[in-house]
């Protein structure tokens, strides 16, 4: 994010407009999903910095935890993109219900492997 | 055998002369940029039975009359490795020598050693001193890794007191070409972008690549097959060999056949006149039958046991 | 690893005629089965498009079509399985080649003792004295599959022998491969192309070569997994469904557990995603499909112990990770763009995306230098730098299936598909939907790989079948369609048509240049590009271009259809012939022909292995070249020094050194490794070219890699650079243990005649080599396998050479069995 930090007041205002646009245009359901995504990002960053700064000793435990965060993140992001009304044209064959079922199935498989990995 | 008898006869005076001989060798090596140009007498001196130095000798025939292409190819690598050796500190450097013996300068040595081919690299281990080897026989370098300097220096480092500090020179010309190519690509990107975005350009590249690969191009490249045989034959019998020219012929045959099919699917149905369309259908079908027969015939030449054949 | 497939094929070619005769009946029946499905797809594939009589409802048509499809598919499966049974019919239900013997042995352990025992199985007899942790060094997918089938059948009280499951696993999975290919091709075009592709892959020799009955190797199930994973990936991409992405990941996991070639998928899918990105075809569907596949697939692949943490540690897997990261950035950017469209912000986005990309690449390079990410492993690296293996890893270069492919192999394995394949790729370029891009990339990459290594022909075969099926079915679509186009219109309207068409084409080009074309638009663009081409093709003749397509007249159709049928029938004959002759030999049992044309089986291997099993102590250690390690372990049940799992180069080089050194140097090595017997393969009597003398140079080369001072390849050649075994052979050659054991008492067979080595066509000296440190223990009927016993140290402390000389001087006693030997002419 180097360019952002090195930017002028113009870009800060751009971020401000972006934030405004986001709050006004996004439905509360999507905001809920976004909150979960932010939580996952924070959790991932925390785990990664622990691995880098402290130790990666049980490497499989770290990998299991980190992959579950990343995997859950992308699955949730997929769900967000599928239920986003703006993307209706993109997903012709995936209804909202189907999207949620896919999300659940993917998460179950993911966490099955994560559980196996921690073992 | 004769040589060794001769040398051992000379051994006693040489033992006294060894110190002088070594000094002489050192000066010879220094003057020859790390490589001693040998003749019959210096060869005997260098491979004297009582030596506390090791020596690597290149037997070669660089005279144009000898027509030894590999010798010419190998010589620069040899000199480069020898030059790298000169950068080693003196006390280590003087315990190992690099030498070159040209056939035209000492044919007697070739006869004595019963050598019939060149280039060869022999490494004589020292017989005295801390590194003395029990084996007096020279070890031979195996050219299976090619004529490059890198593998040579790795191999010879097994025999030298310290590893040879050889580093492959940076190929500036190549890097410059790459950089220039990238730059010109970036500059002309605006103009050639439409070409790059044309699917048929990519299509042509894809098709040509897969045709040459399926024609066995990688085989000829990896095995270094000649373009044609010695007697001018362009097809080599046997399913596990092939010549360079076969790649072209086979790729062309495949290409023609594929092209006929593409014409039949993509062009012929869009014809406006029934008569012309009919002619084209017959034409391309004929081409397919004929070229396919040629292909099967080619395959029968390669694989004699193949029982099927078409028109031909 | 079918090490000597080629050598073998070369040998086998000689007796090909005899074999063909002996199986003629089988041949016919199988041919009959195969022919039916070949003809099926295009007789009904177009039912949907046909103007049938009006009193048939569309539902009936659809039902009939799907019924026919099922019937055709059943026949294709039957043909695929049947044509793989030649080996069982010609020989018997036996495991083939080399690697399958290990897989079979491991599967037996799995079936007998259960999965946990198998997982913790330490095999002390292999790699003596090191042993091998089998559970952590195999891809267990194959054995697990057989184990599951075995337990399933036994649960239903069907007591099928585990050996038969192993033998028939590959044919069974070939039917599943045909189904997966059908699904994949259906995504590319339609179900008629799918059926054609299924029929092609069912009988194409390029795939049969690795999946005949008895060829119980990882590839047997891997190709099915490859195709099903690719199909699920394409389905996930088309629908944007996380379900299919997850399923793709699950099958990817199965693939990782089954075959080392999984790296092909690991790189193909990211390359596809990357190319789509570069073409400006990013969409939410791509994001969903790729991310769900990658996140779950990578995590699951790390469950396989043999793979371990490689997916996050080695360069082969880093491309996939990079594309994953890139997709996150692009997805985030496109989300932001949807909220905000100010020019300034767009610039900012572009800059940040590019700088993030550069940052990632830089981090990758730094990590490679720091050693956190392992560089490319030798096996993969040797695919790019083709000279690499020969220089640095002779053990890889020595395997015959790692040799480059000459063109006859392509034609032999793929026949007419090989030239339909480029035509199919052209058709993919015409439509160029997202999934077609995949086929195109696959075609290029697999063509290259198949050219570099014979064994990778296996990965080329599916894409050739798919692509050829697309080409052929498009052709038949056009020429079977009975609807004729209208009579050409007059000049005026056509002129307008031209104008419109070119305008269209220009527009399409512009759109393409913008680069934001989605799939359906691209198809439209494609058709106008096509008309552009047609216009160009016709502009010289000034004829009127009509937009409609079709064929006039029945004769033109008939020519094309007959031509196609002829080619298909020829293809069936070709496949049957190749399968029967080249790919159906177990290589444990050899076949030759008697003078009267009847088949003669040469069973020397099993004879010798059985001798070992019956006549040597249970804990005896047998030294042989690594090719035979698995067979000795599987059939003779004795310890081996090295085997086909070539993980320890030094150990193999030790064996190479022992074989290529003189007896007195080899003897201490043998004693240090507790070797009781030495086994060599000798083909000189029979003309069997895959013997140890022909592999000898590789032993020398590999030993030279470790002991460059003691073993030197040039010493084994004559001064003129020839590889000879007669009087002119070099001293190093004549004194080597391998030479001595191979030719020990060989000349005596011929009495006063010339002893001829039939492989190398050279005369063997009358006075053969003598052996002091080993003694002959067993020689098989045709001399293919010779086993020598290593003598113990002399009880009086003399060295064995002088002890022997002493004994010979005292009394010339021969206690060796002579009766077993006979000269086979």
Compute how many other C-beta atoms are within 10 angstroms of the C-beta atom of residue B88: 19
Domain assignment of residue A53, yes or no: yes
CB contacts, 8 Å: C284 with chain A: 81-82, 87, 90-91
- The pLDDT, as a whole number, for residue C422 is 94
Confidence of residue A35 (pLDDT cuts 50, 70, 90): very high
Please provide residue B36's backbone torsions phi and psi, each rounded to the nearest 5 degrees: -95, 125
Please answer whether residues C747 and C791 qualify as being in contact, where contact means their C-beta atoms are separated by less than 8 angstroms: no
Establish if C667 belongs to a structural domain.
Answer: yes
User: pTM of the entire structure?
Assistant: 0.81
Domain that holds residue C640: 602-807
| Beta strands C621-623 and C639-640, pairing class | parallel
Binary contact (C530, B266; C-beta < 8 A): yes
Query: Which residues 148-177 in chain B show a CB within 8 A of chain C?
Result: 151, 155, 158
What is the rounded distance in angstroms from the CA atom of residue A95 to the CA atom of residue A83?
Answer: 8
With an 8 Å Cβ cutoff, are C246 and A105 in contact? yes
Q: What is the ipTM of this complex?
A: 0.90
Show Cβ contacts of residue C443 under 8 Å, excluding neighbours closer than 6 positions. B206, B210, C421, C425, C463, C467
If asked whether residues B197 and B116 sit together in one domain, one would say no
Compute CA C568 distance to the chain's CA centroid, rounded to the nearest angstrom.
24
Does a structural domain hold residue C34?
no
Answer yes or no: is B307 within a domain. no
Which domain covers residue A41, as residue numbers? 27-118
3-state secondary structure (DSSP) of residue C372: coil
Are the beta carbons of C638 and C620 closer than 8 angstroms?
A: yes
CATH of the domain at B142: 3.40.30.10
pLDDT at C488: 58
Dist. CA A64–CA A68, nearest whole Å: 6
CA C790/CA C800 separation, integer angstroms: 11
Residue C558 and residue C522 in one domain:
yes
Does C512 share its domain with C644? Answer: no
Cβ A71–C302 below 8 Å, yes or no?
A: no
Whether residue C646 is found in the same domain as residue C742: yes
Residues B150 and B178 reside in one and the same domain: no
Distance separating alpha carbons of residues C638 and C632, to the nearest angstrom: 6
Query: What does DSSP assign to residue B66?
Result: G
Nearest residue to C196 via CA among C38, C4, C376: C38
Query: What's the pLDDT at B136?
Result: 65
Contact C104, C112 (CB under 8 A): no
Domain span including residue B52: 15-156
Domain annotation covers residue B309: no
Residue B165 lies in a domain: no
Backbone torsions φ then ψ of C314, nearest 5 degrees: -115, 160
One domain, residues C534 and C657: no
Number of folded domains that form chain B: 2
Indicate whether B237 and B293 sit together in one domain. yes
The pLDDT-based confidence of A9 (bands split at 50, 70, 90) is low
* Predicted local distance difference test score (pLDDT) of residue C49: 45
Do both C556 and C619 map to the same domain? no
Give yes or no for a contact between A84 and A37, defined as CB atoms under 8 angstroms apart: no
Shortest distance, CA C412 to any CA of chain B (angstroms): 9
**Phi, psi angle pair for B54, to nearest 5°:** -100, 160
Distance from CA of B308 to the nearest CA of C (A): 8
Cα C125 from Cα C612, distance rounded (Å): 15
Structure-model confidence comparison of residues C818 and B117, the more confident one: B117
Note if the bond before C129 is cis, omega within 30 degrees: yes
Which uninterrupted H or E stretch holds C246? Answer: helix C242-258
More confident residue, B168 or C294: C294
Residue of C234, C288, C343, C520 to mutate, testing the A interface (most A Cβ within 10 Å of its Cβ): C288
Contacts of C788 (CB under 8 A, 6+ apart): C677, C678, C679, C680, C741, C744, C771, C774, C775, C776, C777
Chains A and C touch (3+ CB pairs under 8 A): yes
In a domain, C715, yes or no: yes
- Weakest mean pLDDT among B165-174, B267-276, C29-38, C417-426: C29-38
pLDDT at C265: 92
Residues A87-97 as b or e (16 or more Cβ within 10 Å = b) = beebbeebeee
Q: For residues C436 and C200, give the distance between their C-alpha atoms in angstroms, rounded to a whole number.
A: 19
* In a shared domain, residues B52 and B143: yes
* pLDDT on residue B167: 78
Of the candidate ranges A2-16, B124-138, B193-207, C208-222, the one whose mean pLDDT is the lowest: A2-16
Nearest to B293 by CA among B311, B270, B278, B272: B311
Q: How far apart are CA B95 and CA B160, in angstroms?
A: 8
Confidence (pLDDT) at B129: 75
Interchain CB distance below 8 Å, A78 and C336: no
Instruction: State the count of interchain CB pairs (< 8 A) between A and C.
Output: 122
Provide block-wise average pLDDT over 10 residues at a time, chain C (825 residues): 36 33 36 37 41 71 90 93 87 85 90 87 84 85 92 91 91 94 92 93 91 89 94 93 93 93 91 89 91 93 86 84 89 82 70 81 79 68 70 69 87 91 93 92 92 89 94 91 68 41 43 41 47 47 50 85 92 90 81 76 88 90 88 88 82 89 88 89 84 87 83 81 83 88 86 82 84 88 89 78 74 48 45
- Whether B311 is in a domain gets the answer no
Please report the number of interchain residue pairs, chain B to chain C, with beta-carbon separation below 8 angstroms: 221
A1 neighbourhood in chain C, CB within 8 Å: 352
Instruction: State the pLDDT at residue B134.
Output: 65
Q: Is C9 contained in some domain?
A: no
Give pLDDT, residue B18. 53
Query: Within an 8 Å CB–CB cutoff, is residue C528 touching chain B?
Result: no
Chains B and C touch (3+ CB pairs under 8 A): yes
pLDDT category of residue A119 using cuts at 50, 70 and 90: low
CB-closest option in C246, C288, C328 to A82: C288
Distance CA C682, CA C692 (A): 6
Name residues whose C-beta falls within 8 Å of residue C646's C-beta, 6 or more positions apart in sequence: C395, C626, C652
Task: Count the residues in chain A.
Answer: 119
Query: Cβ of C340 and A71 within 8 Å?
Result: no
Domain membership of residue C766 (yes or no) is yes
- The strands making up B35-37's β-sheet, listed across from edge to edge, are B35-37, B96-102, B54-60, B120-124, B139-140
The Cα–Cα gap between C646 and C212 comes to 25
Domain count within chain C: 2
Domain end residue (candidates: B156, B181, B200): B156
In 10 A of CB B279, how many CB atoms? 14
* Pairing mode, strands B96-102 and B54-60: parallel
**C342 domain residue, yes or no:** no
Task: Say whether both B128 and B185 belong to one domain.
Answer: no
Return the axis-axis angle of helices C457-480 and C554-581, rounded to nearest 10°: 160
Q: Does B217 touch chain C (CB under 8 A)?
A: yes
What lies within 8 Å, CB to CB, of B204 at 6+ separation is none
Cβ of C386 within 8 Å of Cβ of B209? The answer is: no
Q: The tokens of B301 are what? A: 């030449």
* Residue among C426, C548, C708 minimizing CB distance to B158: C708
Question: Which residues, 6 or more positions from C396, have their beta carbon under 8 angstroms from its beta carbon?
Answer: C378, C379, C382, C389, C402
Neighbouring chains of C at 3+ CB pairs under 8 Å are A, B
Tell me if C741 sits within 8 A of C788, measured CB to CB. Answer: yes
Residue A8 to chain C, least CA–CA distance (Å): 11
C598 membership: H or E segment, kind and range: none
Given a contact cutoff of 8 angstroms between Cβ atoms, the answer to whether C183 and C226 are in contact is no
d(CA C39, CA C205): 19
Q: Which of chain A's residues have a Cβ under 8 Å away from the Cβ of C287? A: 77-78, 81
pLDDT at B150: 79
By CB atoms closer than 10 A (0-12, 13-18, 19+), residue C502 is middle
Contact A90 C285 (CB under 8 A): yes
The verdict on C553 and C644 lying in the same domain is: no
The verdict on C638 and C787 lying in the same domain is yes
What three-state secondary structure class fits C271?
Answer: helix
* Domain final residue pick, B156, B190, B206: B156
Closest approach of C235 to chain A, Cα-based (Å): 11
Q: What do you get for the CA distance between the two ends of chain A, in Å?
A: 37
Q: Which of B128, B105, B106 is nearest to B3 (CA)?
A: B106
Distant-in-sequence, close-in-space partners of B115: CB < 8 Å, separation ≥ 6: B59
Measuring CA to CA, which residue among C626, C658, C625, C672 is closest to residue C645?
C626
B206–C429 C-beta distance less than 8 A: yes
What whole-number distance in Å separates Cα of residue C788 and Cα of residue C753? Answer: 26
Whether residues C515 and B288 touch (CB distance < 8 A) is answered with no
CA distance B296 to B310: 7
Which residues of chain C neighbour B276 with C-beta distances below 8 Å? 543
Residue-level pLDDT at C513: 42
**Cβ distance of A14 and C342 shorter than 8 Å:** yes
Domain end: B156, B186, B215, which one? B156
Question: How many structural domains compose chain A?
Answer: 1
On the question of pLDDT at B114 being above 60, the answer is yes
Distance (Å, whole) CA C540 – CA C772: 86
Is the same domain home to B34 and B134? yes
DSSP-derived secondary structure for A95-115: -HHHHHHHHHHHHHHHHHHHH
CATH code, C754: 3.40.50.12610
Task: For residue A109, tell me if it sits in a domain.
Answer: yes
Dist. CA C334–CA C314, nearest whole Å: 31
Rounded to whole angstroms, the Cα distance separating C122 from B254 reads: 51
Cβ–Cβ under 8 Å, residues B81 and B166: yes
d(CA B253, CA A13): 65
């Amino acid at each position: 994010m180097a360019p952002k930090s090195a930017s002028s007041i113009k870009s800060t205002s751009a971020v401000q407009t972006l934030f405004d646009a986001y709050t006004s245009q996004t439905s509360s359901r999507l905001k809920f999903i976004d909150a979960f995504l932010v939580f996952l990002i924070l959790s991932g960053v925390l785990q990664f910095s622990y691995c880098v700064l402290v130790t990666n000793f049980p490497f499989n435990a770290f990998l299991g935890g980190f992959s579950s965060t990343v995997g859950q993140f992308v699955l949730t992001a997929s769900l967000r993109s599928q239920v986003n009304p703006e993307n209706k044209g993109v997903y012709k064959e995936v209804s909202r219900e189907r999207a949620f079922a896919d999300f659940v199935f993917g998460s179950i498989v993911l966490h099955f492997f994560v559980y196996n990995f921690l073992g | 055998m004769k040589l060794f008898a001769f040398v051992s006869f000379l051994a006693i005076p040489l033992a006294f002369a060894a110190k002088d001989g070594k000094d002489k060798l050192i000066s010879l090596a220094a003057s020859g940029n790390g490589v001693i140009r040998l003749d019959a007498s210096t060869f005997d001196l260098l491979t004297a039975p009582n030596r506390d130095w090791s020596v690597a000798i290149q037997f070669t025939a660089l005279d144009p009359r000898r027509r030894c292409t590999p010798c010419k190819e190998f010589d620069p690598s040899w000199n480069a490795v020898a030059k790298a050796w000169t950068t080693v500190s003196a006390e280590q450097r003087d315990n190992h020598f690099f030498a070159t013996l040209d056939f035209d300068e000492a044919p007697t040595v070739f006869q004595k050693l019963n050598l019939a081919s060149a280039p060869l690299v022999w490494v004589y281990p020292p017989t005295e001193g801390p590194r003395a080897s029990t084996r007096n026989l020279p070890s031979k370098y195996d050219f299976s890794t090619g004529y490059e300097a890198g593998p040579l220096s790795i191999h010879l480092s097994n025999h030298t007191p310290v590893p040879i500090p050889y580093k492959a020179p940076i190929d500036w010309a190549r890097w410059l070409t790459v950089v220039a190519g990238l730059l010109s690509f970036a500059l002309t990107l605006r103009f050639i972008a439409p070409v790059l975005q044309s699917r048929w350009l990519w299509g042509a590249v894809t098709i040509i690549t897969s045709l040459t690969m399926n024609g066995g191009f990688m085989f000829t490249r990896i095995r270094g097959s000649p373009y044609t045989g010695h007697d001018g034959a362009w097809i080599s019998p046997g399913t596990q060999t092939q010549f360079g020219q076969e790649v072209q012929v086979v790729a062309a045959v495949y290409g023609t056949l594929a092209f006929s099919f593409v014409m039949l699917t993509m062009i012929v149905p869009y014809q406006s006149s029934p008569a012309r369309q009919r002619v084209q259908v017959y034409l391309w079908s004929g081409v397919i039958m004929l070229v396919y027969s040629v292909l099967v015939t080619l395959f029968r030449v390669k694989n004699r046991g193949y029982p099927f054949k078409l028109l031909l | 690893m079918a090490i000597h497939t080629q050598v073998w094929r070369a040998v086998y070619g000689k007796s090909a005629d005899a074999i063909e005769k002996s199986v003629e009946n089988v041949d016919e029946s199988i041919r009959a089965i195969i022919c039916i499905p070949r003809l099926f797809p295009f007789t009904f594939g177009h039912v949907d498009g046909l103007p049938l009589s009006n009193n048939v409802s569309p539902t009936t048509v659809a039902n009939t079509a799907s019924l026919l499809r099922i019937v055709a598919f059943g026949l294709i499966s039957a043909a695929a399985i049947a044509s793989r049974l030649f080996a069982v019919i010609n020989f018997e239900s036996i495991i083939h080649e080399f690697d399958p013997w290990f897989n079979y042995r491991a599967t037996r352990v799995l079936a007998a003792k259960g999965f946990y025992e198998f997982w913790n199985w330490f095999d002390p007899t292999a790699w003596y004295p090191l042993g091998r942790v089998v559970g952590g060094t195999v891809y267990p997918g194959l054995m697990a599959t057989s184990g599951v089938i075995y337990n399933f059948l036994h649960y239903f009280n069907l007591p099928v022998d585990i050996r038969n499951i192993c033998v028939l696993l590959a044919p069974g999975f070939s039917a599943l491969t045909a189904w997966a290919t059908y699904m994949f091709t259906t995504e590319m075009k339609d179900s008629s192309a799918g059926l054609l592709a299924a029929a092609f892959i069912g009988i194409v020799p390029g795939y049969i070569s690795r999946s005949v009955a008895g060829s119980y190797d990882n590839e047997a199930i891997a190709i099915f997994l490859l195709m099903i994973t690719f199909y699920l990936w394409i389905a996930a991409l088309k629908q944007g469904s996380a379900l299919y992405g997850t399923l793709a990941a699950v099958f990817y996991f199965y693939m990782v557990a089954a075959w080392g070639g999984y790296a092909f998928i690991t790189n193909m899918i990211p390359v596809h995603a990357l190319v789509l990105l570069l073409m400006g075809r990013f969409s939410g569907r791509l994001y969903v499909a790729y991310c769900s596949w990658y996140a779950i697939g990578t995590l699951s692949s790390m469950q396989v112990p043999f793979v371990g943490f490689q997916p996050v540690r080695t360069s082969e897997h880093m491309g996939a990770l990079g594309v994953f990261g890139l997709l996150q950035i692009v997805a985030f950017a496109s989300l932001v763009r949807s909220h905000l469209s100010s020019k300034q912000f767009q610039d900012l986005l572009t800059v940040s995306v590019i700088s993030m990309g550069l940052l990632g690449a830089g981090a990758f390079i730094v990590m490679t230098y720091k050693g956190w990410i392992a560089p490319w492993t030798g096996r993969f690296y040797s695919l790019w730098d083709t000279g690499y293996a020969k220089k640095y890893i002779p053990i890889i270069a020595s395997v015959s299936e790692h040799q480059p492919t000459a063109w006859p192999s392509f034609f032999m394995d793929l026949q007419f598909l090989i030239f339909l394949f480029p035509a199919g790729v052209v058709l993919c370029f015409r439509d160029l939907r997202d999934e077609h891009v995949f086929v195109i990339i696959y075609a290029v990459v697999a063509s290259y790989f198949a050219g570099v290594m014979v064994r990778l022909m296996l990965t080329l075969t599916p894409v050739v079948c798919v692509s050829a099926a697309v080409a052929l079915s498009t052709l038949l679509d056009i020429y079977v369609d009975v609807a004729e186009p209208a009579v050409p219109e007059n000049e005026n309207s056509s002129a307008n048509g031209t104008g419109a068409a070119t305008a269209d084409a220009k527009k399409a080009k512009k759109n393409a240049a913008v680069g934001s074309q989605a799939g359906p638009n691209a198809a439209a663009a494609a058709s106008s590009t096509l008309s552009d081409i047609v216009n160009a093709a016709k502009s010289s003749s000034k004829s009127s271009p009509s937009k409609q397509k079709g064929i006039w007249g029945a004769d033109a159709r008939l020519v094309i259809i007959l031509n196609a049928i002829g080619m298909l029938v020829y293809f069936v004959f070709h496949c049957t012939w190749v399968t029967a002759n080249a790919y159906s030999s177990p290589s444990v049992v050899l076949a030759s022909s008697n003078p009267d044309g009847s088949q003669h089986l040469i069973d020397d291997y099993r004879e010798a292995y059985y001798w070992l099993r019956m006549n040597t102590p249970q804990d005896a250690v047998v030294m042989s070249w690594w090719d035979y390690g698995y067979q000795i372990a599987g059939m003779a049940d004795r310890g081996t020094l090295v085997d086909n799992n070539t993980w320890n180069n030094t150990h193999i080089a030790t064996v190479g050194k022992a074989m290529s050194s003189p007896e007195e140097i080899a003897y201490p090595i043998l004693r240090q490794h507790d070797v009781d017997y030495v086994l060599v393969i000798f083909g000189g009597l029979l003309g069997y070219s895959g013997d140890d003398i022909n592999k000898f140079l590789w032993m020398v080369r590999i030993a030279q890699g470790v002991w460059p001072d003691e073993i030197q390849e040039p010493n084994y050649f004559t001064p003129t650079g020839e590889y000879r075994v007669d009087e002119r052979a070099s001293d190093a050659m004549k004194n080597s243990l391998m030479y001595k054991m191979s030719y020990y008492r060989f000349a005596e067979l011929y009495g006063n005649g010339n002893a001829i080595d039939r492989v190398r066509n050279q005369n063997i000296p009358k006075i053969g080599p003598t052996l002091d440190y080993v003694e002959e223990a067993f020689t098989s009927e045709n001399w293919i396998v010779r086993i020598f016993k290593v003598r113990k140290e002399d009880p009086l402390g003399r060295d064995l050479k002088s002890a022997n000389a002493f004994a010979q001087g005292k009394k010339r006693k021969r206690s060796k069995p002579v009766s077993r030997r006979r000269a086979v002419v």
